[in-house]
DNA sequence: TACGGCATGTAATCGGTTACATGATTTA
DNA sequence: TAAATCATGTAACCGATTACATGCCGTA
């Protein structure tokens, strides 16, 4: 075992950084932020400060290299290393942890017996939000070419949003 | 404004505690843990330590009362107060924050271009997990009577899991 | 009455989030 | 050239999670 690996345990954000560097080439933290925003961040948001701190950590462990511009904005461009690629692939090969859903509206519905009159408004808001999201995801060309991984992500988002929408709509019908 | 309210800002877990105390009556932290486990926790898990610390905080602000047994396990039973009920209802009436989804499997799929051969295994695991979950949720009588809020929660979980399952299954078919 | 597991609680770490701070480009 | 916004980064707080620690209770 080389001394460069096995330092800090990696978290989800680590693999997001590694994955984006692998998929879209060397980037600054700002580039990462932009790429997250239009892809992963849509269903797994990070505050931007994580995208500044995390690559720095990865550099310490040798999973990325950092080169800082000597003039101008002196920004840092990160590049994935072979060790980084290995870590990424190893993570990809592990079984995935179970999914979590955090839906405050659902929570309120669950406790709505304490004031049943809120259900209609809750559902109406949820329906409007989901319709907006679905419209966004249905933009032609959003996910890229058929069969690409970004396209699959969008399709997945769409099907889950539609199921969610159907639920809240049926709730509206049941108690108008 | 009385001095007892308006202290700490409340978080999601606060309302889960208040909601459970309102719905299921006075409880100990352990009772809360059990109730979370079979309901809310199914889609919004908390570590048990939160269910010990949070009611304590709520007691400080007068949203619950705490009575400690003087013998035996000396456990603390919490009861929601009128102020607590008011806080709960006020939260219920506010518009809900948008839902978040955290799905590590989806993340791996998104980055799977770095090693495409993992997709089949990923999908297979996901399908198996989702089938197990769905079987669990389909247990007759799990959600309680038709039209109850727990029942609606279960129905919602079912429809989302089914949409998720359909997605991963179609992925398996596309690339066997 | 001894033992094992259930129940109860607390302490400390670790990471996410918020907030601040500054410099570089662009545009009016 | 001044103002506004974009880009870049850092620091501190706060809460969630992990881990520990202990005591009660049922059972053998």
SS3 sequence of A129-164: HHHHHHHHHCCCCCCCCCCCHHHHHHHHHHHHHHHH
Closest by CA to B64, choosing from B84, B42, B43, B49, is B84
What's the pLDDT at B70? 74
Return the SS3 of A77: strand
Closest by CA to A165, choosing from A136, A139, A131, A120, is A131
What's the pLDDT at B74? 81
More confident residue, B42 or A84: A84
**Mean pLDDT for chain B?**
90
B146 touches chain A (CB under 8 A): no
What's the pLDDT at B20? 96
Which positions in chain A touch B14 (Cβ < 8 Å)?
none
**Mean pLDDT for chain A?**
90
How many Å separate Cα A48 from the centre of its chain? 12
Closest by CA to A59, choosing from A94, A21, A91, A31, is A21
What is the phi/psi pair of residue B79, to 5°? -130, 135
Span B78-133, pLDDT tens digits: 999 999 999 999 999 999 998 999 999 999 999 999 999 999 999 999 999 999 99
Cβ pairs bridging A and B (under 8 Å): 186
Give mean pLDDT, residues A124-150. Answer: 88
What's the pLDDT at B122? 95
Please judge whether B159 and A163 are an interchain contact, meaning their C-beta atoms are less than 8 angstroms apart. yes
A43 touches chain B (CB under 8 A): yes
How many Å separate Cα A151 from the centre of its chain? 14
Alpha carbon distances (Å) from B39 to A106, A111, B151, B153: 12, 11, 10, 8
What's the pLDDT at B49? 96
From the list B19, B153, B162, the residue facing A106 with the nearest CB is B153
Q: Which residues touch strand C (CB under 7 A)?
A: A 8-9, 11-13, 45-50, 53, 72-73; B 28-31, 48-49, 52-53, 56, 68, 73-76
Q: Does the pLDDT at position A32 exceed 90?
A: yes
What's the pLDDT at B4? 41
Q: Which residue in A85, A98, A125 has the most chain B C-beta atoms within 10 A of its own C-beta, making it the best mutation to test that interface?
A: A98
What's the pLDDT at A1? 37
Q: Does the pLDDT at position A114 exceed 60?
A: yes
For chain C, which bases have at least one atom within 7 A of a protein Cβ? 7-11, 15-19, 23-25
To the nearest whole angstrom, how far is the Cα of B7 from the nearest Cα of chain A? 22
How far is the first Cα of chain A from the last one, in angstroms, to the nearest whole number?
65
Q: Does the pLDDT at position B159 exceed 90?
A: yes
What's the pLDDT at A5? 43
DSSP B84-142: HHHHHHHHHHSPPPPPEEE-HHHHHHHTGGGSTTHHHHHHHHHHHHHHHHHHHHTSTTT
Positive or negative: CA dihedral B24, B20, B30, A100: positive
- In this prediction, residue A7 has a pLDDT band, given cuts at 50, 70 and 90, of low
Nearest residue to nucleotide C24, by CA–C1' distance, is A73
Q: Does the pLDDT at position B172 exceed 70?
A: yes
């Amino acid at each position: 075992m080389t001394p460069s690996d096995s330092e800090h345990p990696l978290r989800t954000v680590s693999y997001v950084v590694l994955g984006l560097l692998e998929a879209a080439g060397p980037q600054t933290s700002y580039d990462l932020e932009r790429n997250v925003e239009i892809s992963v961040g849509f269903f797994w948001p990070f505050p931007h400060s994580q995208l500044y701190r995390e690559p720095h950590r990865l550099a310490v462990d040798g999973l990325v290299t950092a080169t800082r511009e000597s003039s101008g904005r002196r920004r840092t461009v990160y590049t994935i290393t072979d060790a980084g690629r290995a870590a990424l692939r190893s993570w990809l090969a592990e079984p995935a942890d179970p999914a979590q859903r955090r839906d405050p509206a659902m929570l309120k519905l669950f406790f709505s017996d304490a004031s049943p009159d809120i259900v209609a408004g809750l559902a109406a808001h949820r329906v409007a939000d989901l319709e907006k999201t679905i419209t966004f995801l249905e933009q032609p060309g959003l996910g890229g070419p058929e069969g690409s991984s970004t396209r699959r992500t969008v399709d997945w988002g769409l099907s889950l949003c539609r199921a969610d929408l159907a639920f809240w709509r049926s709730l509206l019908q049941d108690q108008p």
